[in-house]
């Protein structure tokens, strides 16, 4: 991890780095257009730790700074204009000043395109006198792999090749060029060892502005593993929200913008797009993350879900491979260009299948996308993959035949925990002891139950055999869950986080409760018990749901999965509470997450600290969290869906609406889609709903005051 803060003066970045530790990211500025991104200091400089201009998990620039020779540069503002554009403003102290007011300023606008970084630099003179300046752009690169950057490993900088136009670095496979853009002032090129400079000598009269643009481009001998998605190929329409809560409006706008730039495409079928898991460490295809994000975004249309389903189906397991943990029917965990060596113990092959939950989540997403209006022919084409995934549940997913889904890393080199809480210390007893594998997670049983019923629903609807078998399988799982998982403490009954190798319930209280609600695994009494637990201060921090209860030994508000808050985890709980009939508890949880988003400029991170609103007026960051993260950004749409009580059943011809978000009224939301048709929802201050869509569905809702014309499928 890197010690944060900008080096003073010209102090080398190496002096503020801690070798061998994962760099911190909490004060990093991210500008993104996958598979390219820039990580920098808040002032715009690429200087230390994980900073860099990256493309396809390689660091094209490890240093980039803008200085004015002999002049202190004081940063005063940073503006995240869009996911792929950031502006930085600074004052040149003591230059051209005739009063105490600043007179000469530096404005830096960063734009990222796939494989290209552009820095527009402008210096403005608002003073009364003529000024002479030398602007210096310094750059270096190590062409490090992302895994080396994440592990805190330092690599030597490469020696640049200089010519009249600019600078070039290469290792034979990757070539990086830095130069002034055509049509802008040419720079003097200087090199000194591994560092290089582009120098501009500027004379600036009063009232004038000088401008130039510096471009850095990357050429890789190998094609992108997952290519970028063109701006015109975003699989949803512009989304606009105007509500009584401006923080939510900002959260939705920022989140949707970030999601657009996290899109990647399948090189085997470029029309199929999916969401990379997150920046910077996970800018690739992940089974669980990409599936959850696509499911959360179904109200924006089914195109993303279809692309995600097909991309994963093409890579669905077909054989038994102990090294990669591939099994017939299994959906993968992640894809990399090369083997991923995380530490001395953990090494993942380029295509790795070590996940217990991606396979049931794939099945459920297919059913949900069908219900939101995915073309039945597209659904039909994917049914053989759904049948293979269902078979995996009953054979490999339940390897010991006890009726429950469990996992174990048989390689000794893979992930010890293979649910979404995949850190090695995440599954623990209340007294702090770690659970021994094989492990059956509580939420994975819910995923399996929901997937089996979803599969049965699809098979029956499309006239394929096997529906009865999977309903019976789900019923057996439900019975086994009720028999095996429920434990009790002084507060009452609750499900353990997992069963361990001895089939003993691991008794810690966790956020996993939220993943059980609304899936059908629980009855109403059981759901009420969990809703009350979620609403209690041990789990609800006031800014979202803690992953581990505060009364557990080992609770750590900065623990990755043992006390921190994950926005997607909270959003799943919010949606589950609404589906289970607890809108008030859902609203309180959602309001906390919306409040937390203000501390992160509307860009919710992968996770943040679980201290809570009773201790801190704003949430503290988790220092190494990714941001933006696909399922964190997609959580904003889930919060809206839950607030509106929005659910689709296009095959059944209905759209359900049950608004309960009093604090958001009045509200207007545009940009949703159902069955390929635009969908807009408006709520007035009294809660009366107005739905506009041309989709062939009947709008139904309890006490919503739905406009009768909209109810018939006509624009209201």
Residue 707 confidence class, pLDDT cut points 50, 70, 90: very low
- Residue 696 pLDDT > 50, yes or no? yes
- Residue 12 pLDDT > 70, yes or no? no
Taking alpha carbons only, the member of 485, 324, 349 closest to residue 409 is 324
- Residue 208 pLDDT > 50, yes or no? yes
pLDDT (average), residues 652-663:
91
Could you give the CA distance from residue 363 to residue 382 in angstroms, rounded to a whole number?
A: 10
In tens, the pLDDT along 40-69 reads 999 999 999 999 999 999 999 999 999 999
pLDDT at residue 11, as a whole number: 35
Could you give the CA distance from residue 109 to residue 84 in angstroms, rounded to a whole number?
A: 11
- Residue 715 pLDDT > 80, yes or no? no
Dihedral of CA 535/541/544/547: which sign?
A: negative
Could you give the CA distance from residue 646 to residue 663 in angstroms, rounded to a whole number?
A: 17
Residue 640 confidence class, pLDDT cut points 50, 70, 90: very high
Domains and CATH numbers, the chain: 13-220 (2.70.98.40), 231-644 (1.50.10.10), 654-711 (no CATH)
Could you give the CA distance from residue 346 to residue 338 in angstroms, rounded to a whole number?
A: 14
Residues in the chain: 716
pLDDT (average), residues 139-153:
94
Residue 345 confidence class, pLDDT cut points 50, 70, 90: confident
- Residue 37 pLDDT > 50, yes or no? yes
- Residue 713 pLDDT > 90, yes or no? no
Q: Write phi, then psi, for 80 (nearest 5 degrees).
A: -85, 95
pLDDT at residue 414, as a whole number: 95
- Residue 587 pLDDT > 90, yes or no? yes
In tens, the pLDDT along 445-461 reads 999 999 999 999 999 99
Residue 18 confidence class, pLDDT cut points 50, 70, 90: low
pLDDT (average), residues 102-127:
98
Q: Of the given ranges (132-136, 325-329, 342-346, 469-473), which has the lowest mean pLDDT? A: 342-346
Residue 15 confidence class, pLDDT cut points 50, 70, 90: very low
pLDDT at residue 706, as a whole number: 40
Could you give the CA distance from residue 636 to residue 252 in angstroms, rounded to a whole number?
A: 6
Task: Report how far Cα 671 is from the mean position of its chain's Cα atoms.
Answer: 21
Tokens of 404: 């429950």
Residue 163 confidence class, pLDDT cut points 50, 70, 90: confident
Q: Write phi, then psi, for 175 (nearest 5 degrees).
A: -125, 130
pLDDT (average), residues 96-125:
97
Question: What is residue 299's DSSP assignment?
Answer: G
Reduced to 3 states, what is the DSSP secondary structure of residue 634? Answer: helix
- Residue 8 pLDDT > 50, yes or no? no
Question: What is residue 119's DSSP assignment?
Answer: E
Calculate the average pLDDT of the chain. 93
In tens, the pLDDT along 589-599 reads 999 999 999 99
Q: What is the pTM of this model?
A: 0.94
- Residue 432 pLDDT > 50, yes or no? yes
pLDDT (average), residues 636-653:
97
Taking alpha carbons only, the member of 491, 492, 508 closest to residue 500 is 508
In tens, the pLDDT along 523-572 reads 999 999 999 999 999 999 999 999 999 999 999 999 999 999 999 999 99
DSSP assignment of 158-186 equals PPPEE-SSEEEEE-SSEEEEEEEPTTS--
- Residue 2 pLDDT > 70, yes or no? no
Q: Kindly report the three-state secondary structure assignment for every residue of 185-242.
A: CCCEEEEECCEEEEEEEEEECCCCEEEEEEEEEEEECCCCCCCECCHHHCCCCCCEEE
Interhelix angle 442-461/358-371, nearest 10 degrees = 40
Could you give the CA distance from residue 213 to residue 202 in angstroms, rounded to a whole number?
A: 14
Question: In which residue are the tokens 């109200």 written?
Answer: 299
Q: Of the given ranges (32-41, 416-425, 644-653, 693-702), which has the lowest mean pLDDT? A: 693-702
In tens, the pLDDT along 360-389 reads 999 999 999 999 999 999 999 999 999 999
Instruction: Please tell me which residue, 455 or 713, carries the higher pLDDT value.
Output: 455
pLDDT at residue 472, as a whole number: 98
């Amino acid at each position: 991890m890197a010690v944060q803060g900008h080096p003073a003066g010209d102090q080398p970045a190496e002096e503020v780095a801690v070798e061998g530790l994962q760099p911190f990211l909490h004060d990093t500025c991210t500008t993104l257009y996958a598979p390219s991104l820039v990580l920098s200091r808040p002032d715009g400089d690429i200087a230390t730790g994980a900073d860099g201009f990256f493309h396809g998990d390689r660091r094209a620039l490890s240093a980039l700074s803008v200085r004015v020779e002999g002049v202190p540069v004081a940063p005063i503002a940073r503006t995240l204009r869009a996911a792929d554009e950031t502006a930085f403003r600074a004052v040149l102290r003591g230059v051209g000043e005739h009063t105490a007011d600043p007179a000469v300023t530096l404005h830096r606008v960063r734009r990222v395109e796939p494989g290209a970084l552009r820095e527009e630099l402008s210096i403005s003179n608002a003073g009364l006198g003529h000024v002479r300046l030398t602007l210096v752009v310094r750059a270096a690169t190590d062409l490090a792999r992302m895994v080396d950057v994440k592990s805190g490993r330092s690599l030597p900088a490469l020696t640049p090749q200089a010519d009249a136009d600019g600078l070039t670095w290469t290792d034979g496979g990757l070539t990086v060029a830095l130069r002034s853009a055509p049509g802008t002032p040419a720079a003097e090129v200087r090199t000194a060892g591994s560092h290089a400079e582009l120098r501009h000598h500027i004379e600036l009269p009063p009232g004038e502005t000088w401008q130039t643009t510096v471009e850095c481009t990357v050429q890789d001998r190998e094609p992108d593993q997952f290519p970028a998605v063109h701006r015109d190929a975003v699989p949803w329409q512009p989304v606009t929200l105007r509500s009584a809560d401006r923080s939510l409006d900002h959260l939705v706008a920022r989140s949707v913008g970030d999601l657009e730039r996290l899109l990647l495409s399948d090189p085997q079928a470029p029309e199929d797009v999916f969401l990379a898991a997150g920046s910077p460490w996970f800018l690739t295809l992940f089974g669980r993350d990409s599936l959850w994000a696509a499911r959360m975004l179904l109200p924006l249309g089914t195109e993303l879900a279809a692309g995600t389903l097909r991309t994963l189906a093409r890579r669905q397991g077909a054989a038994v491979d102990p090294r990669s943990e591939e099994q017939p029917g299994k959906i993968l965990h992640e894809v990399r260009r090369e083997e991923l060596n995380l530490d001395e113990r953990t090494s993942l092959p380029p295509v790795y299948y070590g996940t217990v939950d991606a396979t049931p989540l794939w099945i459920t997403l297919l059913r949900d996308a069908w219900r939101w209006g995915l073309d039945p022919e597209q659904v039909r084409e994917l049914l053989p993959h759904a049948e293979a995934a269902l078979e995996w549940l009953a054979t490999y997913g339940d390897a010991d035949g006890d009726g429950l889904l469990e996992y174990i890393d048989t390689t000794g080199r893979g992930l010890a925990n293979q649910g979404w809480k995949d850190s090695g210390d995440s599954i623990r007893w209340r007294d702090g002891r770690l659970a021994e594998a094989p492990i059956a997670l509580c939420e994975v049983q819910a995923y399996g139950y929901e997937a089996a019923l979803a599969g049965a629903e699809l098979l029956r609807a499309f006239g394929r055999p096997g529906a009865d078998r999977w309903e019976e399988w789900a019923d057996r799982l439900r019975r086994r869950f009720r028999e095996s998982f429920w434990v009790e403490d002084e507060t009452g009954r609750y499900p353990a986080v997992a069963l361990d190798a001895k089939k003993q319930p691991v008794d810690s209280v966790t956020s996993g409760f939220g993943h059980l609600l609304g899936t059908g695994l629980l009855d109403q009494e059981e759901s009420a018990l969990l809703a009350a637990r979620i609403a209690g201060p041990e789990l609800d921090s006031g800014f979202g749901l803690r992953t581990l209860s505060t009364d557990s030994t080992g609770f750590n508000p900065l623990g990755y999965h043992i006390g921190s808050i994950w926005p997607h985890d909270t959003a799943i709980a919010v949606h589950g509470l609404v589906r289970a009939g607890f809108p008030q508890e859902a609203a309180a949880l959602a309001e906390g997450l919306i409040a937390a988003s203000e501390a992160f400029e509307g860009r919710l991170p992968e996770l943040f600290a679980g201290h809570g609103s009773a201790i801190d007026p704003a949430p503290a960051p988790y220092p190494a969290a990714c941001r933006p993260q696909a399922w964190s950004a997609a959580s904003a749409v889930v919060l809206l869906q839950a607030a509106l009580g929005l659910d689709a059943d296009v095959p059944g011809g209905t759209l359900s609406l049950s608004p309960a978000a009093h604090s958001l009224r009045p509200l207007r939301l545009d940009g949703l889609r159902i069955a390929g048709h635009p969908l807009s929802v408006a709520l007035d201050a009294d809660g009366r709903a107005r739905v506009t869509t041309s989709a062939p569905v009947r709008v139904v809702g309890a006490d919503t005051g739905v406009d009768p014309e909209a109810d018939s499928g006509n624009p209201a």
